[in-house]
A and B are shown apart, each in its own frame.
Chain A
Amino acid sequence: MSLIRSAKNAVTPGGRHGVSRRESRDAIGHAVSALNTFAQSNLIDRLGMRKTSEQAVYQATKSGFKAAGAAGRTFSRSGSGEKQGARVPGAPKKGVFDLTPTEDEQSLVEVVADFATEALRPAAAEANETCEAPDEILRSSLEMGLPILGVPEDLGGIFGERSAMGATLVHEALAKGDMGLALAVLAPGAVSTAISLWGTEEQQQTYLPAFTGDAVPSAALALSEPTVLFDPLKPGTKATRDGSGYVLSGVKSAVVRGATAELFIVGAELEGKPALFIVESSAEGVRVEADPSMGVRAAGLTRLHLTGVRVGSESLLGETDGTTYVEAVRLARLGWCALAIGTGQAVLDYVTDYVKTREAFGEPISHRQAVAFMVANIAIELQGMRLVTYRAASRAARGEDFAREVALARRICTDKGMQIGLDGVQLLGGHGFVKEHPVERWYRDLRAVGVMEGGVLV
């Protein structure tokens, strides 16, 4: 099959460079193709036929690496694999319709919002270029306790009860600074929260001390895969039983900060049902490849290749009947909704200032309904996104069923989030298209919502 395809490619243009297989070359097409091959050849450069400035610097510093997983620490095992780990209780149910966050949530969000404004936003443009989060930002995020939002208080965490609502507010506040950097600082928390929610005593005692200590590991929840019409509940990555352990094979994509991650939680199908596995980066057969994408570049997205990776029986996280996995998918989607709201708010605030100062035809463009109504619609839809997400998050925090609510949140945050990104650029016109303003970055970031699975988890 692949042989036939490559042979066909020699004469037809389809299947490469985003060209459909249905395309064909005519005489002019063949001539142009030949000319292009010549234009790309080094020969003309050696002959001095081209100015050096025309040489494309093709390899971006960070975009081309392929490496084995980061040389991670050894996590020393302790505790019992038979015993259920510590669990945080659900949030209480008072039965009064209320939009006010708790005092704990408010004070946490205040701190995080300052961090987003003062640290994330100023660092965002550069981090987008370098495809990595600056060390000082990662360090500050640890000091703020971001990786342990979902860890039980007994095990050194922050909240005494289920923190899905508080974490949602934190995701939102961080993404208002920058979605890519928010993702980078939140990724380890996705792993620690998952281990807190579903881990055995052994899994919690083996891994959580690292998160609550000084040297917090870089870690990632890897659920996405690079396939068309990807259904997260039917991962192509397979786990097979091997003695008392498992062997994992497959490719995960959009893995946050994979290059430095010491720990992954990987989604894989085991005997027809999706399940989660804890994989240490030092395991044989783990390979990480840079996968720079349209947006959220500061999160250092990678592909994680698993080739016959052997893990022990203690690496299975939660149930094998798919229930743990589907809850992880839902809680991750909730995190992405919160990120969309934060970035959406950044767009709204930015365009509000811009349209009031930008003048055309002798007055601020905000004085025109065509412009003002776009801003109004951003405000309306953004608040709708926020409320739908909050409802899902608060249900999750109380331990109630939230399948419907999170699906609706994902739908509306995908649809309206992208619309907000689109309108954000449109309202600035040509200025929105250049990197002098952040709206083009937000546009790229907002496309991630609805595409991504995993990465964050509330």
Chain B
Amino acid sequence: MIYLETPKKYKVLAEQAHQTAMNMLRPISRKYDIAEHEYPKELDMLSAMIDGLNDAGQTDGAGATGVRKTEGAIDGVQNGANLASVLGVKEMCWGDVGLTLSMPRQGLGNSAIASVANDEQSERFKGTWAAMAITEPATGSDSASITTTARRDGDDFILNGEKIFVTSGERADSVVVWATLDKELGRAAIKSFVVEKGTEGMKVERLEHKLGIRASDTAVISFTDCRVPVANVLGSPEIDVKQGFGGVMATFDNTRPLVAAMAVGCARASLDLIHDLLEDAGQTVDWDLPAYNQTAAVAKYVQMESDWEAANLLMLQSAWMADNRQPNSLEASMAKAKAGRMCSDVTLSCVELAGTLGYSETELLEKWGRDSKILDIFEGTQQIQQLIVARRVLGLSSAELK
């Protein structure tokens, strides 16, 4: 039975997240946009509240942590942790993307752990705040050619290399680091390692100054003979050429819907505000009137809203598929591609519609216009998503469609 509304089960969750975003994040949104590298101390309180809700069984995973796929048969159509997560993240990012990314224990590294860790690791890393370190100075989208190395030494691996663009790299308790066991073996030799803060040889070199999401710290981290126990390798520590890249890449099937949810939330913030501003200017939407009979501003609003609706539903679809154990890499990439470009168009068009009022720091429209850009870049750029979708739709390998 086709039903594409917020599931009844998570209405309360979404409303709570919305209230939290409105009353906790919005009031400090501009503050930490200006004070770029200052730690948003208010978030500790928030995170304590979320832990409380989690422990009371109120949320079913409001952040990035609830994406683990459990094995076994499922009975009927499921609305589970994946849907709960995207609904929560969407509302929080309606509040503020940078602050949401700075939420303790809701890092993308937590998603990686949730997606590929074994039971022992899941238990051991419970409650950790994990950042994700993939990108290197010379390797971005081409994540298979990373140069950070991991050399086996007894019960340890020794890491050497430099990682950039590590979100929450300074604040997190640990970092999930991608490194290769053998560059010659390509993708199959890439493993992810949980490196805890304070491990000798791991050093935060500096924090980046950014266009947007300035509340979130973005670190450069170096690894010099950094010793990590074998037990901290996520998944098998052996090189399995057959399994290839699948293990680490599987993380993306879970994180891409989340980033799409961030874009959907951020764009919604702009749309909600511009709706009011247009109304104040005497521009109201008539849903039945053809676009050419509306004012240009209203026609633009309706077009933005339609793109938003498509992105939102593509995003929900990809999470719903994960909840129902259907392979969702294609749909996750579709969602991220659509949500990323939609969010850029919406936030930047809303600035234009509001003129210098939108451009000025007196409103948050200009901030959302800056925050949105990263959402079409991290966790796979627009172009990488298109590449993935194209390969899937056309049935082509990465050797055929480069």
Say yes or no: is B401 at the interface (Cβ < 8 Å to chain A).
yes
Interchain CB contact under 8 A, B386 and A376: yes
Chain B residues with Cβ below 8 Å from A385 are 310
Chain A interface main SS type: helix
Interchain CB contact under 8 A, B77 and A387: no
Closest to B289 in A: A231
Output the residue of B306, B316, B317, B393 with the most chain A CB within 10 A: B306
CA distance A220 to B292 in the complex (A): 26
Question: Of residues 178 to 204 in A, which have CB atoms within 8 Å of B's CB atoms?
Answer: none
Interchain CB contact under 8 A, A390 and B389: no
Which of the candidate stretches B3-11, B39-47, B198-206, B248-256 sits at the interface with the other chain? B3-11
Closest to A401 in B: B287
Interchain CB contact under 8 A, A415 and B303: yes
Q: Knowing A376-B389, A391-B309 are in contact, say whether A165-B396 is a contact too (CB < 8 A).
A: no
Chain B residues with Cβ below 8 Å from A94 are 1, 3
Closest to A416 in B: B310
Say yes or no: is B305 at the interface (Cβ < 8 Å to chain A).
yes
CA distance A330 to B288 in the complex (A): 8
Chain B residues with Cβ below 8 Å from A92 are 1
CA distance A68 to B1 in the complex (A): 46
The listed residue (B2, B7, B8, B309) touching A388 by CB distance below 8 A is B309
CA distance A374 to B361 in the complex (A): 38
CA distance A380 to B8 in the complex (A): 28
Question: Of residues 378 to 402 in B, which have CB atoms within 8 Å of A's CB atoms?
Answer: 383, 386-387, 389-391, 393-396, 400-402
CA distance A11 to B303 in the complex (A): 44
Say yes or no: is B93 at the interface (Cβ < 8 Å to chain A).
no
Interchain CB contact under 8 A, B393 and A403: no
Chain A residues with Cβ below 8 Å from B5 are 95, 97, 391, 395
Interchain CB contact under 8 A, B289 and A233: yes
Chain A residues with Cβ below 8 Å from B334 are 379-380, 383
The listed residue (A97, A355, A384) touching B83 by CB distance below 8 A is A97
CA distance A356 to B400 in the complex (A): 11
Output the residue of B291, B320, B383, B389 with the most chain A CB within 10 A: B389
Task: Give the size of the chain B interface in residues (CB under 8 angstroms).
Answer: 49
CA distance A180 to B237 in the complex (A): 59
Closest to A380 in B: B334
Interchain CB contact under 8 A, B1 and A102: yes
Interchain CB contact under 8 A, B2 and A375: no
Say yes or no: is A100 at the interface (Cβ < 8 Å to chain B).
yes
Say yes or no: is A247 at the interface (Cβ < 8 Å to chain B).
no
Say yes or no: is A367 at the interface (Cβ < 8 Å to chain B).
yes
Contact indicator per residue, chain A 328-358, by CB within 8 Å of chain B (1) or not (0):
0110000000000000000010001001100
Interchain CB contact under 8 A, B1 and A97: no
CA distance A407 to B306 in the complex (A): 8
CA distance A10 to B4 in the complex (A): 60
Closest to B395 in A: A356
Output the residue of B307, B320, B402 with the most chain A CB within 10 A: B307
Say yes or no: is A98 at the interface (Cβ < 8 Å to chain B).
yes
Chain A residues with Cβ below 8 Å from B305 are 404, 408, 411
Chain B residues with Cβ below 8 Å from A381 are 310, 338
Contact indicator per residue, chain A 229-262, by CB within 8 Å of chain B (1) or not (0):
1111100000000000000000000000000000
Q: A62: shortest Cβ distance to chain B, in Å?
A: 29
Closest to A413 in B: B306
Q: Knowing A369-B401, A383-B334, A412-B307 are in contact, say whether A100-B290 is a contact too (CB < 8 A).
A: no
The listed residue (A101, A369, A395, A403) touching B287 by CB distance below 8 A is A403
Say yes or no: is B213 at the interface (Cβ < 8 Å to chain A).
no
Interchain CB contact under 8 A, A95 and B9: yes
Chain A residues with Cβ below 8 Å from B402 are 367, 369
Chain A residues with Cβ below 8 Å from B394 are 352, 355-356, 366, 372, 375
The listed residue (A97, A383, A408) touching B4 by CB distance below 8 A is A97
CA distance A406 to B289 in the complex (A): 12
CA distance A391 to B316 in the complex (A): 12
Chain B residues with Cβ below 8 Å from A407 are 287-288, 302, 306
Q: B342: shortest Cβ distance to chain A, in Å?
A: 9
Q: Knowing A97-B316, A356-B394, A407-B302 are in contact, say whether A387-B386 is a contact too (CB < 8 A).
A: no
Contact indicator per residue, chain A 386-400, by CB within 8 Å of chain B (1) or not (0):
011011011100000
Interchain CB contact under 8 A, B401 and A367: yes
Chain B residues with Cβ below 8 Å from A291 are none
Chain A residues with Cβ below 8 Å from B7 are 95-97
Contact indicator per residue, chain B 165-209, by CB within 8 Å of chain A (1) or not (0):
000000000000000000000000000000000000000000000
Closest to A92 in B: B1
Q: B324: shortest Cβ distance to chain A, in Å?
A: 9
CA distance A419 to B396 in the complex (A): 24
Chain B residues with Cβ below 8 Å from A96 are 1, 3, 7-9, 77, 79
Contact indicator per residue, chain A 361-381, by CB within 8 Å of chain B (1) or not (0):
000001101001101110111
Q: Knowing A407-B302, A408-B302, A415-B306 are in contact, say whether A352-B393 is a contact too (CB < 8 A).
A: yes
CA distance A385 to B311 in the complex (A): 10
CA distance A91 to B1 in the complex (A): 9
Say yes or no: is B220 at the interface (Cβ < 8 Å to chain A).
no
Q: B4: shortest Cβ distance to chain A, in Å?
A: 4
Say yes or no: is A326 at the interface (Cβ < 8 Å to chain B).
yes
Closest to A363 in B: B400
Question: Of residues 76 to 110 in A, which have CB atoms within 8 Å of B's CB atoms?
Answer: 91-102
Q: B78: shortest Cβ distance to chain A, in Å?
A: 8
Closest to A414 in B: B291
Chain B residues with Cβ below 8 Å from A269 are none
CA distance A383 to B338 in the complex (A): 10
CA distance A335 to B311 in the complex (A): 22
The listed residue (B314, B389, B400) touching A367 by CB distance below 8 A is B400
The listed residue (A390, A404, A409) touching B2 by CB distance below 8 A is A390
Q: Knowing A99-B317, A229-B292 are in contact, say whether A390-B287 is a contact too (CB < 8 A).
A: no
Q: A442: shortest Cβ distance to chain B, in Å?
A: 18
**Can you list 5 A-B contacts (CB < 8 A)?**
A95-B5, A369-B386, A373-B390, A380-B386, A405-B309
Seen from chain A, the residues whose Cβ lies within 8 Å of a Cβ on chain B are: 91-102, 165, 229-233, 326, 329-330, 348, 352, 355-356, 366-367, 369, 372-373, 375-377, 379-381, 383-385, 387-388, 390-391, 393-395, 403-409, 411-412, 415
Q: Which 3 A-B pairs have the closest CB atoms?
A: A384-B310, A95-B8, A387-B313
